[in-house]
Structure 1
Amino acid sequence: MAHKYTNISDLSVLIVGLGSIGSRHYSNLRALGLTKLGILRTSNTKPHTPLDLANIPVYDDYAKALANNYDAVLICNPTSMHLKYALTAARNRCNVFIEKPLSNNMNQVYDIEQLVDKFNLKVGLGYQMKFHPNLLDIKTWISEKRIGKLVNVTVNAGEYLPLWHPWENHETSYAARKELGGGVALTQIHDIDYLTWIFGDLELLYAYGGNSGILGTDVEDYVTATLKTDTNTTVHLHLDYLQNPPARTMKIVGQYGTIDWDYYQNIANLTISGKIEQISNVEASWERNTMFLDEIKDFLYAIINDNEPTSNIPNTLSGLKTTLAIMEYINSN
């Protein structure tokens, strides 16, 4: 059933958490013309970016905030709190957008799925990489079998944690705290998610990783895993909090050629028999924030048009299970 509104600017949205990602979503919602916004603060930390909150209700009580019947709730607090707040919103019949990942365990996933079905809610997940122009082209090349039978995929993604949010102590950030769902596997789950999106479900064969002792944290800051797809393509994955300068690359080897992607160079090459056949470029005017704008528009239009967001619980759950399997493998060995 279509929503009562026809324009996304008519929707009312409550943002839970005003850290880095919550602040970004707030600014993007304002840029998209939404004015019926509310903020639930879950800490006393000031936003690192000055925000115009004039005439915006700011709550410190979740129940009082939800009593205002928002059309959607954006969950932007630490990972370990995601499902607690999402379940409360769903019980109040609010559509929910949850920052990645859905959770740091599977304990209450069934509960949120039941509420979504019961109340016909829309749930979106914050996997903005699915809106990266290069990855969209790569997904098309793979679906068209441009390089034939796939042989091997290698992904390397690393970024130096202390430089993520220079305004905060990295040792106390959620990404570095086990009790908040931190650690590189869950925090950098984007790469596992887009691999699943492009190649299908992944089966874990082997994983190695842990805490290097370099960053002064108690979470895993490097992970290397070997996985395989349903068609027996081998996938080698490396994630870390340590690389400076940062890197995010993917190489796909097939029977006819290769696909090479560099996230920081915003380019992907399709090479057949040693010759570059097609190049995926990103427009010079393109900004990283465009992915975040596209994902939130996708979620809001799903509410308006009664369709599914690009990233929802069913199509991201496999990636979460794979990530948790990697963590369990490392912890048990």
Structure 2
Amino acid sequence: MKVLIVGLGSIANKHIVSILKLDPHAEIYALRHNFNNITKEGVTDIYSINEIPAHLDFIIVSNPSSEHFKTVQLLIDLNVPLFIEKPLFINLKGHQELLKEIARKNILTYVACNLRFHPIITYLKEEFNKRKPLEYNVYCGSYLPDWRPNSDYRENYSAKKELGGGVHFDLIHEIDYTMYLLGNPLTVQSYQSKKSPLEIDSADVAHYVLEYEQSSVFITLNYYRKTPKRAIELVWEDSVWYVDLLKNEIVSSGNEIIFSQPFNIVETYDLQMAYFLKCLENKSVTMNDIEEGIKTLKICLNE
């Protein structure tokens, strides 16, 4: 297997680990822009598009979100499958022309949203195929400075609006898995703002109200909660389920354990990469290609 990575940050390192678990002999190249960057063992650095090796199996786009659009534009001429880290883009400018070009070249694409492979989301997908909740409440909150404790949060892309920072982009997972479970909503209302004392210029809180034929959906996202919480509350006709994605547990209002199992978030990256490689092998369309990623982005931006 031969893979090119554009943007060798923390998320790219997770993907590298998953790739090497699946193929210990994979050849991995990283397109870098700074000769002073720290090298990574087992990864060959290149510094120009002219150095990109032939016969790549796929390319991972994991540079800052603000660079994704022009990076994809640059890479589509290579006619190589694209694994694009979320969020897909930070706006919708020029997306229709790009989609047409990708379709014309028949390039396989996948937008990486690893929480689709969380055991609880897998369980809920099966449950939602049988019935839909009356009410679906999502809450995801954590403290941005704790995300990367060895770096200054104020210097990270998450803190900078122009680089694609903002809680609605970073936590687009919650929008993505909601659409994965329930499909496209009938209507959307949203609100993004900066409320906390955090020294950032990006949005640190976002709220979404999505209307479905059978379900009302409320999503809350924030950067300022010091005790992390990632949860879903499902109101059914006959009971309420409390879904904890951090504990990997679902408990009913009657204290019945609906679902519980040991879990490590790393598993979602491994399962995601295995799924993508299977799609490559079978030459099959992915469940979250660039067209579906655009639909999620439209909800995120409410455009």
Task: Determine whether 1:24 maps to 2:14.
Answer: yes
Q: Which amino acid aligns with 1:208?
A: Y
- Cα 1:287–1:20 change in 2 (3 A) is same
Larger displacement relative to structure 2 (257-266 or 196-205): 196-205
**Cα distance in 1, alignment partners of residues 109 and 270 from structure 2:** 17
Aligned partner (choices 220, 223, 226) of residue 238 of structure 1 = 220
Q: Per-residue displacement from partner, 1:205-243 (whole Å, max 9, x unpaired)? A: 5433411241100011011222212x1521111100011
Shift of 1:163: 0.8
Q: Per-residue displacement from partner, 1:61-85 (whole Å, max 9, x unpaired)? A: 1x12435342211001011111211
Q: Which amino acid aligns with 1:99?
A: E
Task: Determine whether 1:101 maps to 2:92.
Answer: no
Aligned partner (choices 279, 296, 318) of residue 258 of structure 2 = 279
Counterpart position of 2:104: 118
Counterpart position of 1:6: none
TM-score normalised by structure 1 residue count? 0.84
Q: Which amino acid aligns with 2:243?
A: W
Q: Matched residue of 1:186: which SS?
A: helix
Q: Matched residue of 1:150: which SS?
A: coil
Within 5 Å, give how 1:131-142 maps onto structure 2: 131-142=117-128
Task: Determine whether 1:299 maps to 2:276.
Answer: yes
- Cα 1:42–1:266 change in 2 (3 A) is farther
Task: Determine whether 1:191 maps to 2:174.
Answer: yes
- Cα 1:213–1:245 change in 2 (3 A) is closer
Task: Determine whether 1:322 maps to 2:299.
Answer: yes
Q: Which amino acid aligns with 1:234?
A: S
Maintained 8 Å contact 1:204/1:228:
yes
Shift of 1:45: 7.3
**Alignment identity in percent?**
25
Aligned partner (choices 111, 118, 134) of residue 151 of structure 1 = 134
Task: Determine whether 1:262 maps to 2:244.
Answer: yes
Q: Matched residue of 2:76: which SS?
A: helix
Task: Determine whether 1:76 maps to 2:62.
Answer: yes
* Structure 1 residue ranges without an equivalent (≥5): 1-10, 329-333
Counterpart position of 1:222: 205
Q: Matched residue of 1:103: which SS?
A: coil
- Cα 1:248–1:302 change in 2 (3 A) is same
Q: Per-residue displacement from partner, 1:33-53 (whole Å, max 9, x unpaired)? A: 142210112456756xx8423
Task: Determine whether 1:179 maps to 2:162.
Answer: yes
Q: How many residues align?
A: 302
**Cα distance in 2, alignment partners of residues 140 and 43 from structure 1:** 46
Maintained 8 Å contact 2:168/2:192:
no
* Structure 2 residue ranges without an equivalent (≥5): none
Q: Which amino acid aligns with 1:127?
A: C
Maintained 8 Å contact 1:203/1:322:
no
Maintained 8 Å contact 1:66/1:92:
no
Maintained 8 Å contact 2:115/2:268:
yes
Counterpart position of 2:147: 164
Q: Which amino acid aligns with 1:80?
A: S
Quote the RMSD (CA, aligned, Å). Answer: 2.1
Maintained 8 Å contact 2:61/2:83:
yes
- Cα 1:88–1:205 change in 2 (3 A) is closer
Q: Which amino acid aligns with 2:142?
A: E
TM-score normalised by structure 2 residue count? 0.92
Maintained 8 Å contact 1:151/1:254:
yes
Counterpart position of 2:28: 37
Q: Per-residue displacement from partner, 1:236-287 (whole Å, max 9, x unpaired)? A: 111000111211010111212233210111112356xx473x62222x3x32
